[in-house]
Amino acid sequence: MRRKTALITGASDGIGLALARLFQAEGARVVGVGRRPPAELERELRGDYCRVDLAQPFAAAVVAEFLRRRGVDELDLLIHCAGVGSYGPVEAQAAGAIDALLDTNLRAPVALTHALLPALAAVAGRVVFIGSVAAALPVPDYAVYGATKAALEGFARGLRVELRGRAGVQVIHPGATRTGMHAKVGAPLERMGWRRFPPPERVARQIARAIAGGAPVATVGLGNRLLRLAGRHLGGLVDRAAAARAGGSPAPARPRHCVVTGGADGIGRAVAERFARAGYAVTILDRDAERAAEVCEAIRAAGEGATVIATDLARPEGVALALRRLAVLRPADVVVHSAGISAVGRFAEGEIARQLAVLDVNLRAPAQLTAGALRAGLVTPGGTLVYIASLSVFTGYPGAAVYAASKDGLAAYARSLRAALAGRGVHVLTVYPGPTRTAHARRYSPDNRREGRRMPPERLAGLIFDAVERRGVALIPGFANRLIAAVGRLAPALTEELMRRTILDKLPQANAPAGQTLEQER
């Protein structure tokens, strides 16, 4: 009988180490990946141990080369257990800390999965993402951490459909565990009752049973299952309570200022023009300086103020430039995070660099801009932060699994932020648009015959403006989109099948150029 092989990241500490011991005791060959020196591990785990920092961009290549040299070309299990944590107010997180969270908890699993899919497909193996109950809850002191775990679940949902018949995909959500991560991030151990958390060995046994059970999504522990159930199905009550805490103060009488990322075209442009018509001064952030300038000229011609900040939010220096330029302007009353890119196509066939760029623009940039703006006081008290997520949060998106990951993560981040900022009177609105009549949608849709049924961006912008004015919490624009979202909540398998038929099955095959183009989300 062939001996099974399991690769476990984070295998040098906490849950990952406990899983490595458990699978090795059951006779599996365990390939461990971790940051600690091999000399610090017990002898049994040193033989197949790859030391690498998964936050580094070359980490997936290092692991793949390690497996090649060890003659490992078949993987039964790829368990993504490595992760770092965070604790504290959003604005207290430095840019480097946010990067470490996103790189270790999200980018690394995506990149490593892409690199090792051939080994998994060789034996119809399984990818296991270790998520967290925090993915389904507002976690104000863990906002970016919760976002990364929600993004993993969104990624897994689309990938599961794409890999059907080739490899399995599971997400397993543990709750708080008695590991050293909490102390490392400065969490108040006594106040949070850290000593009452289950030890990693117990959690590892629960995870192993969930892996054996094979359920696509599993939550370990009765209390955690109840928490997740409440977070997913009673979340609206929590969000509305946070909005009520933020207050309903009227908009200030002074001239107001709206900042829009990705405002040169499509949804972003329509939003900028709608707020300008309402008397707002508008600042547009976009990498297309020429087109953004045209929008601003049109706004100025109508008698309103408009400013362009030409910057590429895919690059850290682009985010830093945006924050420096915003610092010399009046504080923003409304910030709309509309910039986004996509990479449509089957994940296994796509270029990984392009896939990772989607995470950088759609999730990393909003998180970095938000933290920097709050830290520098660039948002007025009583202001509103708007995050453009996607209907894919409710339906999945096979054929654009990384895009779905970025939008699930963004929605979770906004939810935690809403709870975190409620006491300061800052509102947070999350928008979940469905198909919109933009060049972006036309470019990526495999079937544009019904383009006329898509919502015009001008109508969407009007709905966003109205939601901001009434201090809304969430906006799913259009009856049909609300119906699809409701079905997605209650019967996710049904919407996944629908998305497979309408999107994935109509995509071009490998190496088709249309599947790998990156464009601004417009």
Active site (catalytic) residues: 145
Which residues on neighbouring strands pair with residue 9, listed in sequence order?
Answer: 33
CB 286 within 8 A of CB 339: yes
Q: What is the dihedral of CA 382, 387, 391, 395, to 10 degrees?
A: -100
What strands lie across the sheet with 306-310, from one edge to the other?
Answer: 306-310, 281-286, 257-261, 332-337, 379-388, 427-431, 474-475
* E strands in 370-417: 379-388
Q: How many CB atoms lie within 10 A of CB 502?
A: 13
Both ends of the chain: CA-CA distance in Å?
54
Phi, psi (deg, nearest 5) at residue 383 = -75, 180
Distance CA 310, CA 259 (A): 13
SS3 at position 4: coil
6: part of which helix (H) or strand (E)?
Answer: strand 5-9
Distance CA 412, CA 135 (A): 7
Burial 129-159 (b: 16+ CB within 10 A, else e): bbbbbbbbbbbbbbbbbbbbbbbbbbbbbbb
CB 272 within 8 A of CB 282: yes
User: DSSP character for 503?
Assistant: T
